[in-house]
């Protein structure tokens, strides 16, 4: 799940300024939460095929999280009714799993979180069901590469804007656009903590990064324009022009030795 530019972060109960710093013990819990959510998303994607309903993918993710002794991080948060956000094609984020059946060639994003010892992880992956097109593969490659560039910039002494700019600098020259109304975020006991991590902006601006911060970095890349629209369900965010959208996310710890990706098995 991702932070909204305005209201929902304020609803998380955190002060408006200042990122929380995690101890090495906190990071162990977050690493376990990250491992489990990566496992859960992998298990769900192993079942991704034509004809499967998004609710079934969500059930697989929930069972995998519970099997590992963790709790789903999104279920019930702000009233969200499922374990994973599942967003297809022009859907960007916050798609609600249900009866929708996956079709061959669909661009499917699973965004999921797990809680261990009260600490959250947040992780998103986009894949194509069945055989893909070169157009979709390219969009996936560029989005994933931009996430990797953002992670590399997540170092003590850098600023939030250095992450934002690393992502933007990789995406915009490809004639893609980055979503602006939804952003990455700090993460810890709350899913959404300060600071916000926009996927665009100038270098050298924003909060200075320090060892002990943990950030959810999550480029949302549109094949068309950057504008978004929310569906009548009050959750699903789609591209205004109907173009495809792709989303990857990792939970990343900032350490003196550089960034450590926590959402890996």
| Contacts to Mg ion by CB under 5 A | 1-2, 111, 122, 124, 216, 249
Q: How many CB atoms sit inside 10 A of residue 106's CB?
A: 18
Q: Which is nearer to Mg ion, 204 or 214 (CB)?
A: 214
CB 92 within 8 A of CB 243: no
Question: Closest distance between Mg ion and the C-beta of residue 173, in Å?
Answer: 25
Q: Which is nearer to Mg ion, 36 or 216 (CB)?
A: 216
Q: Which is nearer to Mg ion, 29 or 196 (CB)?
A: 196
CA–CA separation, 77 and 73 (whole Å): 7
Q: SS in 3 state form for 156-182? A: CCCEHHHHHHHHHHHHHHHCCEECCCE
Tokens 């947040």, residue located: 122
What does the DSSP 8-state code read for residue 240?
A: T
Across 10-22, b (16+ Cβ under 10 Å) vs e yields eebebeeeebbeb
Q: Which is nearer to Mg ion, 161 or 219 (CB)?
A: 219
Q: Which is nearer to Mg ion, 26 or 111 (CB)?
A: 111
Cα–Cα distances (Å) from 54 to 9, 87, 198, in that order, read: 27, 9, 28
Q: Show the DSSP H helices in the chain as ranges.
A: 7-10, 24-46, 54-67, 134-152, 160-171
Provide the phi-psi class of 118: left if phi over 0, else alpha when psi is between -120 and 50, else beta: left
Q: Which is nearer to Mg ion, 29 or 87 (CB)?
A: 87
Task: State the Cα angle at 55 between 50 and 59, rounded to 5°.
Answer: 110
């Amino acid at each position: 799940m991702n932070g909204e530019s305005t209201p929902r972060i304020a609803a998380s109960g955190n002060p408006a300024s200042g990122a929380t710093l995690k101890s090495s013990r906190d990071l162990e819990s977050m690493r376990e939460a990250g491992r489990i959510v990566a496992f859960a998303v992998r298990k769900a994607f192993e079942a991704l095929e034509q004809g499967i309903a998004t609710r079934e993918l969500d059930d697989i993710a929930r069972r995998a999280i519970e099997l590992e002794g963790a709790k789903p991080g999104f279920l019930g948060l702000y009233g969200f009714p499922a374990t994973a956000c599942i967003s297809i094609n022009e859907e960007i984020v916050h798609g609600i799993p249900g009866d929708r059946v996956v079709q061959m060639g669909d661009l499917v994003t699973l965004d999921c979180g797990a809680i261990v010892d009260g600490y959250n992880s947040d992780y998103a992956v986009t894949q194509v069901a069945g055989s893909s097109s070169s157009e979709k593969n390219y969009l996936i490659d560029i989005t994933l590469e931009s996430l990797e560039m953002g992670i590399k910039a997540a170092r003590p002494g850098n600023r939030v804007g250095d992450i934002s700019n690393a992502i933007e600098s990789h995406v915009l020259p490809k004639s893609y656009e980055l979503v602006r109304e939804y952003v990455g975020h700090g993460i810890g006991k709350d899913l959404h903590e300060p600071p916000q991590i926009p996927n665009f902006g100038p270098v050298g601006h924003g909060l200075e990064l320090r060892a002990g911060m943990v950030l959810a970095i999550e480029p949302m890349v549109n094949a068309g324009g950057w504008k978004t629209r929310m569906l009548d369900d009050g959750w699903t965010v789609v591209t205004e022009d109907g173009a495809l959208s792709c989303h990857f996310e990792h939970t990343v710890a900032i350490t003196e030795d550089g960034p450590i990706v926590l959402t890996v098995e």
